[in-house]
Amino acid sequence: MEESKKVLYSAVQPTNNLTIGNYIGAIRNFLALQNDYNCYFAIANMHAITVRQTPAELRQRTLSLLALYLACGLNPEQTAIYVQSHVPAHAELCWVLNTFTYVGEMERMTQFKDKSLRHAENINMGLMDYPVLMAADILLYQTEVVPVGLDQRQHLEIARDIAQRFNNIYSPTFKVPEGLYVKVGAKINDLQDPSKKMSKSAENPNGSVFLSDDKDTVIRKFKRAVTDSGSEIKFDPENKAGVSNLLSIYTAFTGKTVEQAERDFAGIGYGDFKLAVGEAVADKLAPIQKEQAKLLTDKTYLDNVLRSGAERAAKAANKTLSKVYKKIGFYQL
């Protein structure tokens, strides 16, 4: 890891099944980034427990996500890949940052309000504190760049506010991170309702394609995808949301341009088009799934990756934490 590179931080929660939207929007981009930045990728299990989890599943999904990162080509020699709870500094900095964050700010967070509605029976303190923990994640590593989806933009803004607030009260302590909003022209929408983003928890399971779906399932879901009136295969998100979404998926998975794709499908019917998109996706997923399954049989290796990732992360994190403790007046031995 070269010191001269900027620090980039991201994390994914080991909760629901990831979709091809997560792959295109996040994981695939991590690969391109790992050469250019000094990267930390966390498995955010502490964020995950802000909604109730089944312990055995949480454990299993932690390893699955790690295996997926690796199967997609993240290189653990280059990038620190670790589990959030393995680095206690996250919880420790979160506590300090809590005292620099106002209740009113947290109450106004869009995601908190949404989740409070969806989990009305369990609006716990952790759910409200989620953005502060995320700020701690980011600020511990003197992060400069955070690739996030637009849904996380408000959380990143709060992290920046907290960093600036702390720096102003004491002296420069945290780097103030910037968001990296990857566009890639590929926002992937629901196959059943192309006006909505493809989500891990959509109402209609046929609308989302999961990275764990086998070939038959992938093909079946694409065959059922809604298209639009007319018969032309043309990229026109306003008037042809369904077809355009399928074209986006196709280009994202094949690396072709929209123009090339339109040419490939000129004069072809919707049925064959949907099948071709499904096959392109399934063909891309197959080797990743195979590698992921293989990795999951080698627990010793996975544990070693996590051990060395946590060690590397803790070293960087503890440096920042100790600065913070000094500045706020914690007596140090």
Catalytic residue numbers, as ranges: 115, 197, 200
Q: How far is the CB of 261 from ligand TRP (least distance, A)?
A: 29
Toward ligand TRP, which CB reaches closer, 94 or 246? 94
Q: How many CB atoms lie within 10 A of CB 315?
A: 12
Q: 100, 115 in Cβ contact below 8 A?
A: no
Q: 50, 130 in Cβ contact below 8 A?
A: yes
Toward ligand TRP, which CB reaches closer, 11 or 71? 11
Closest-approach residue to ligand TRP (CB): 11
| Binding interface with ligand TRP (CB under 6 A) | 9-11, 13, 44, 47, 134, 137-138, 146, 148, 152
Instruction: Compute the residue count for the chain.
Output: 333
Task: Quote the CA–CA distance of 85 and 90 in Å, as a whole number.
Answer: 8
Toward ligand TRP, which CB reaches closer, 10 or 142? 10
Q: How far is the CB of 43 from ligand TRP (least distance, A)?
A: 9
Q: How far is the CB of 151 from ligand TRP (least distance, A)?
A: 7
Long-range own/partner contacts, residues 149-154 (CB < 8 A, 24 or more apart):
149/25, 149/26, 149/181, 150/181, 151/111, 153/179, 153/181, 154/109, 154/110, 154/111
Q: How far is the CB of 323 from ligand TRP (least distance, A)?
A: 20
Toward ligand TRP, which CB reaches closer, 25 or 242? 25
